[in-house]
Structure 1
Amino acid sequence: MTCTQNLKEMKNIYKRYYKVLFGILGIMIYSSCSDEFLEVVPKGQLIGEKVVDYDKMFYNLNLINMTSTNAQVPLGAELVAFEPYISGSGLRTQRLYRWEAEVYNDGDNAAELENTMENIYIYNKIINEVMEATEGSEAEKRSLRAEALAGRAWTYFLLINYYGLPYNEGTSATDAGFPIVEVADLVASDFRRATVQEVYDFIVDDLTTALQDLPAQVPSRFRFSQAAGKALLGKVYTFMGKFEEASPLLTEALDQIEDTGTEVRLLDYNEGYSNPRVDTDPEGIYGKQFSNNWANTASELVVNPEIMALFDESDLRLEYLYTETAQNGNEYPLEGVFRKQIGTGQTFFGVRVQEVYLFLAEVKCRLGDLTAAVSILEEFRKHRMPEENAIVPQEIAADRETLLRFVFDERLREFAAQGVYWFDMRRLTVDPDIPVPVSSYTHTIYDTDGSVKGEYQLTKERLVLRFPKTVTDQNPNLENNP
């Protein structure tokens, strides 16, 4: 199912689209908006006048469909690759899987920057202009500005986890991060990178400001609610190791999800599983999606035996979301590998209900409240397996470090082949409680007979992506990653 098909019921929001061409960071990117409410002025600049114009900007499909913003999937160490499928995949996929420094050829644009920088442009337009718009109340304007601030924070959080080293209180003040762009300027160039600390401070400030005016209820899951804002800020604080700050935000987000104006809840796999859609998926508090056939029909990357061994045989995720064969029906020449097959070529990754449960369980565990952590985990797990099998074993529940590892294992059981593990891998390399050496992460390519064709070891340098030549050529002061 394509992104357009997924969103066909949104046609009442817009009648037709135009393409807006503009350059940011030296790349050419596109935007789709309704020319009912926006004019196209020189070189693709967007103009809004009324409050309703800015409100409708949030329904730009490219704010929802992040297309190939999916490098985090092949980067994840939960996957192994097989011939002949991996050699038949795109060069970008192969290079990401091998953790190569240069993912793109000269002249190629980076998929990680196309939608993200376009979205930042749109959010900046709203942030900087909506308060001067006509035909709307002050409260409406502040609410729209808050949504744009939260959207910008979400986007910057993704970018800093692509291009900046994992947050580390001891080094982030000097680690190179990502350029902070606060104006909607189509011709700006020669950007310089802020530090990781500056970018995280920027994200926290945007979200803290946004939470003052974000609406409790929203008309669709493509709009930022209070619950989504608190969940995102709680996630950011968790990545920063600020667990005391994260705990109340995640708790409040979980308390508020039933009152967001849309149906938001955990799906219960005991009642069955059906292919989700981003616009109707109840597990989406804030809906975004990226293309991910590695969790649907592609055969080159599959979940390795070590990760699959984490599943109990009663776990319904194993029944509904995995198959032992390639798309063509052939078996893989290695016992214990499974191909993820969720029933859609899109992975949803805006703000997810599952994330809130599992981040809150992690935070409670880190703060020493093991009883609360276990309770949250068991509440989550009983939606993925029969309740009697959802109990956390006592020997795990009673030990803080063991329970913390169990939380991360649960995240793998829930999100394998969907990009989450790459970001967990990064932060585990600097984790204060259960640190994992970077060099312990490996990727293997197996030949058709099951023999090892290639092995690759992750290095600290490859915890970050490099900017492509198209960007560095137009931004000579933009320091690249090693």
Structure 2
Amino acid sequence: MKKALSFLSLIVAAMCFCGCEKYLDIRSSKSTVIPSSLDDLQALLDATPHINLGFYPALLEIATDDYFVPHNIYNLVTAFEQESYIWKPEPLYLQQDVNGEWTNPFRNVSIANTVLDRLPMIDGNTSTRGQHIKGTALFFRGFSYFLLAQVYCAPYNTQGNNSGLGLPLRLTPDFNEPSVRSSVQGTYDQIISDLNSAADLLPVTVEFPTRPNKAAAYAALARAYLAMEVYDQADEYAAKALNLYDELIDFNELDLGAALTFAPFHRETIFYAASNGYTVLNPRYACVDTELYESYDELDLRKKAFFTDNGNDTYSFKGSYMGNTGNGFFVGLAVDELFLIRAECQARAGRTPEAMEHLNHLLRHRWVAEHFAPLQVSGSEECLRLILEERRKELLSRGVRWSDLRRLNKDPRFAKTLIRVIDDGSNQTTYTLPPNDPRYVFLIPQEVIRITGMQQNLR
């Protein structure tokens, strides 16, 4: 780990505000340790505190409808948290917010680019281990770009033009290259290309779930294609991932009274990663949306596995797949999500029996065993609605709800206006976010725009 952190000085030095288009780049110096072996490259990718923990945008959850915060908590959090929570058109990023929501996710891209740049000089891309390292770097780059795209790019449009503003796609560690925004199409093309290449190169098994394997690459592709609404491909890649690993936890075997329901790296985990954190998202302060909580049947063990009664008619979330409490949330990949992807895609294709088979397989592991009866539906429309409801109930605080809202808002059947109410005891202020509003794409930090000269998202 010391070696990994030493090499990370090569990355960290470049992330300061050192001038213009070099904002996202890696700058080397004579005092910087340069990776010179496969062990060095692997050490960079194994720097878990920098690669896996807290280096993905918290904006994936901060504006969703799954929770609310009481007025006294709202008054305590930072201005950026308040403004993002109520969907203010132009939330002002402070330096800590720039780091958490932009610089750190791009740091993972920079680490991946450094590894990909150095690997041919060290290995010639010929050894099996070198191929695994290359696949890991490509996975981290594609996965990071996907999560960033859910925050800073318009939703992908399968029926229309995707020439709108995408991400600045950094594909080399050359700090002389200016930062220029690609298109939405170009961004998703790069995501799919990186993850497909990673799937070809990664091993089937890895020693730790902080390293991606082949199933992780397939699962990431399934998530990406679902966000793109390319449902046949999402189903195909979810099936490929499940063919490699499909183990579910039986909630009947859990200690539902435990303060934390899940241990880190539990057996549903395919790839472990966590978001940046904010106080407004901490389970000690954030309350689960009341209607969401009430949607769980009393025989559904998730109602006890996921939630803690606060004793004042509100409930907190204790079911994080991170295996701990904090201001961040799990953004990694797990088996339960794949069954839901398969079920939704099959429902959309009119394959109702197959869709319900996958949904019921998951729910059988979630309900009180002696009381579970497979759910039945009358047709494809009811099937799809049920699966989408279960998707929200299962994947709470997993970094997918924002992406789901963005794509489902395109369909009048599922479009939803989000509402926040700030009540100080004497006055109520209501804020709304209508479907397909421009605020479903967050502003890039203002300081990044000032330094790079890139075009800002529209308001």
> TM-score by structure 1 length?
0.83
Correspondence 1:167 to 2:156: yes
The amino acid that maps onto 1:420 is: V
The amino acid that maps onto 1:267 is: I
Aligned to 1:298: 284
Aligned length: 442
Correspondence 1:87 to 2:75: yes
Aligned to 1:36: none
Distance, in Å, in 1 between the alignment partners of 2:3 and 2:245 is 24
Q: SS of 2:91's equivalent?
A: coil
Correspondence 1:356 to 2:338: yes
Correspondence 1:338 to 2:315: yes
Distance, in Å, in 2 between the alignment partners of 1:241 and 1:375 is 22
Structure 1 pair 14–160 and aligned structure 2 pair: CA distance change class (3 A)? closer
Distance, in Å, in 2 between the alignment partners of 1:186 and 1:277 is 42
Distance, in Å, in 1 between the alignment partners of 2:153 and 2:161 is 9
Q: How does 1:86-125 map to 2 (within 5 A)?
A: 86-105=74-93, 109-110=97-98, 111-125=100-114
Aligned to 1:212: 200
Q: SS of 1:253's equivalent?
A: helix
Q: How does 1:67-78 map to 2 (within 5 A)?
A: 67=55, 69-78=57-66
Deviation for aligned residue 1:323: 2.6
Range that drifts further, 198-207 or 471-480: 471-480
Q: SS of 1:318's equivalent?
A: helix
Instruction: Tell me if the contact between 2:441 and 2:457 (Cα under 8 Å) persists in the aligned partners.
Output: no
Residues 103-141 of structure 1 deviation map (CA, whole Å, 9 limit, x = unaligned): 224666522112211000011112222122159952221
Instruction: Tell me if the contact between 1:92 and 1:104 (Cα under 8 Å) persists in the aligned partners.
Output: yes
Runs (4+) off by over 4 Å: 11-19, 24-31, 43-46, 105-109, 134-137, 276-279, 292-296
Correspondence 1:141 to 2:141: no
Q: Identify the match of residue 265 of structure 2 among 257, 277, 280.
A: 280
Aligned to 1:317: 302
Aligned to 1:415: 395
Aligned to 2:44: 57
Aligned to 1:475: 452
Instruction: Tell me if the contact between 1:108 and 1:468 (Cα under 8 Å) persists in the aligned partners.
Output: no
Distance, in Å, in 2 between the alignment partners of 1:295 and 1:361 is 29
Q: Identify the match of residue 403 of structure 1 among 361, 368, 383.
A: 383
Deviation for aligned residue 1:393: 3.5
Range that drifts further, 384-393 or 242-251: 384-393
Instruction: Tell me if the contact between 2:23 and 2:452 (Cα under 8 Å) persists in the aligned partners.
Output: no
Distance, in Å, in 2 between the alignment partners of 1:150 and 1:317 is 31
Unaligned runs of 5+ in 1: 1-10, 32-39, 259-264
Q: SS of 1:347's equivalent?
A: coil
Aligned to 2:171: 182
Q: SS of 1:289's equivalent?
A: coil
Q: SS of 2:72's equivalent?
A: coil
Distance, in Å, in 2 between the alignment partners of 1:246 and 1:412 is 18
Aligned to 1:34: none
Range that drifts further, 143-152 or 98-107: 98-107
Aligned to 2:117: 128
Deviation for aligned residue 1:153: 0.8
Deviation for aligned residue 1:92: 2.0
Distance, in Å, in 2 between the alignment partners of 1:477 and 1:29 is 12
Q: How does 1:9-24 map to 2 (within 5 A)?
A: 19=9, 20-23=12-15
Instruction: Tell me if the contact between 1:278 and 1:289 (Cα under 8 Å) persists in the aligned partners.
Output: no
Residues 166-202 of structure 1 deviation map (CA, whole Å, 9 limit, x = unaligned): 111234422211111101134544x221111111111
The amino acid that maps onto 1:436 is: A
Distance, in Å, in 1 between the alignment partners of 2:202 and 2:130 is 11
Distance, in Å, in 2 between the alignment partners of 1:368 and 1:235 is 20
Aligned to 1:4: none
Deviation for aligned residue 1:408: 1.7
Instruction: Give the % identical residues.
Output: 23
Q: SS of 1:348's equivalent?
A: coil
Structure 1 pair 102–247 and aligned structure 2 pair: CA distance change class (3 A)? same
> TM-score by structure 2 length?
0.87
Instruction: Tell me if the contact between 1:63 and 1:119 (Cα under 8 Å) persists in the aligned partners.
Output: yes
Distance, in Å, in 1 between the alignment partners of 2:369 and 2:3 is 41
Q: Identify the match of residue 456 of structure 1 among 432, 453, 458.
A: 432
Superposed CA RMSD in Å reads 3.0
